[in-house]
């Protein structure tokens, strides 16, 4: 039945974890990159918060693309579509943020995502991972779905105390504080950073040296 993880590692498909009043649930998130003009579309009956989450994931990735081996020009010549089946089920919340980043990195680098990993965590524009709710229910859902490894926010580590020991033994639980760590665990191989020489802007600037660069922002 739907809800089982994929049979092979795939590009652009990642497993998120949702938390509803009836318990935790597996959430498949997928994306494609097609020729276009830099537009991003998100579907799957997503609420405003989850749509903003896609937007934040995309801006984060754009501002840090070189460290993931992604050429800036790749963004402007493609459109991106993030979809969360099942299309008739309303979904919302910010906790799919790191999954959004992961699917986008995968689809833009062509590196598959490990099929036995799941993840939950809000993303900031600097890639920091913020805490989420319902960790226990989400981990139970992951277990039922045959997931082996779960990335979760380091700030949620305190919630592990109340977990049954059976979960702790069966799942490889990976606390993360930055999405860089998630990418390291989730993709079948690590993306290699690239360098990029921007065409210099031919305008006249006197005084202060113009130093900001998208790829040199600390995080």
Q: Between residues 112 and 121, which has the closer beta carbon with respect to Ca ion?
A: 121
- Dihedrals φ, ψ of 174, to 5°? -115, 105
Among residues 31, 53, 91, 138, the one annotated as catalytic is: 138
From 96-104, 133-141, 146-154, 184-192, span contacting Ca ion (CB under 5 A)? 96-104
Kindly state the tokens that stand for 94.
């910010």
Residue from 176, 138, 174, 185 nearest 154 by CA: 176
- In the annotation, is 95 catalytic? yes
Helix 97-109, helix 48-63: angle, nearest 10: 50
Buried b (16+ CB within 10 A) or exposed e, 23-60: ebbbbbbbbebeeeeeebebebebeeebbebbebbbeb
What is the smallest separation between the CB atom of 3 and Ca ion, expressed in angstroms? Answer: 5
What is the smallest separation between the CB atom of 123 and a second copy, expressed in angstroms? Answer: 8
Among residues 31, 42, 67, 95, the one annotated as catalytic is: 95
Using the rule CB under 5 A, is 44 a contact of Ca ion? no
Non-local CB neighbours of 212 within 8 Å, separated by 6+ positions: none
Helix (H, G, I), strand (E, B) or coil at 33: strand
Q: Between residues 62 and 114, which has the closer beta carbon with respect to a second copy?
A: 62
* Degrees, nearest 5: CA angle 71-75-76: 115
Q: Between residues 95 and 106, which has the closer beta carbon with respect to Ca ion?
A: 95
- In the annotation, is 138 catalytic? yes
CB under 5 to 8 A by kind: which of a second copy, Ca ion, none does 96 bind?
Ca ion
Helix (H, G, I), strand (E, B) or coil at 6: coil
Q: Which of 12, 24, 44, 93 binds Ca ion (CB under 5 A)?
A: 93
- The residue of the chain with the least Cβ separation from Ca ion equals 93
CB under 5 to 8 A by kind: which of a second copy, Ca ion, none does 45 bind?
a second copy
Using the rule CB under 5 A, is 127 a contact of Ca ion? no
Residues that bind Ca ion (CB under 5 A): 93, 95-96
| Active site positions, annotated | 95, 138
């Amino acid at each position: 039945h739907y809800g089982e993880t994929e049979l092979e590692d795939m590009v652009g498909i990642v497993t998120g974890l949702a938390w509803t009043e009836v318990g935790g649930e597996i959430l498949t998130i997928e994306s494609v990159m097609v020729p276009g003009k830099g537009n991003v579309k998100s579907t799957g009956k997503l609420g405003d918060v989850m749509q903003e989450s896609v937007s934040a994931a995309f801006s984060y990735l754009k501002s840090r693309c070189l460290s993931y081996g992604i050429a800036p020009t790749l963004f402007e010549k493609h459109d991106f579509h993030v979809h969360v089946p099942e299309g008739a089920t309303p979904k919302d919340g910010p906790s799919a943020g790191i999954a959004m980043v992961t699917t986008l990195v995968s689809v833009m680098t062509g590196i598959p995502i490990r099929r036995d990993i799941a993840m939950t965590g809000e993303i900031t524009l600097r890639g920091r991972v913020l805490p989420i709710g319902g960790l226990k229910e989400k981990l139970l859902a992951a277990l039922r779905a045959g997931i082996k490894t779960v990335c979760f926010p380091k700030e949620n580590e305190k919630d592990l105390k109340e977990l049954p020991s059976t979960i702790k033994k069966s799942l490889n639980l990976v606390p993360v504080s930055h999405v860089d760590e998630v990418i390291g665990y989730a993709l079948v191989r690590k993306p290699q950073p690239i360098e990029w020489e921007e065409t210099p802007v031919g305008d006249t600037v006197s005084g202060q040296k113009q130093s900001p660069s998208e790829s040199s922002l600390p995080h």
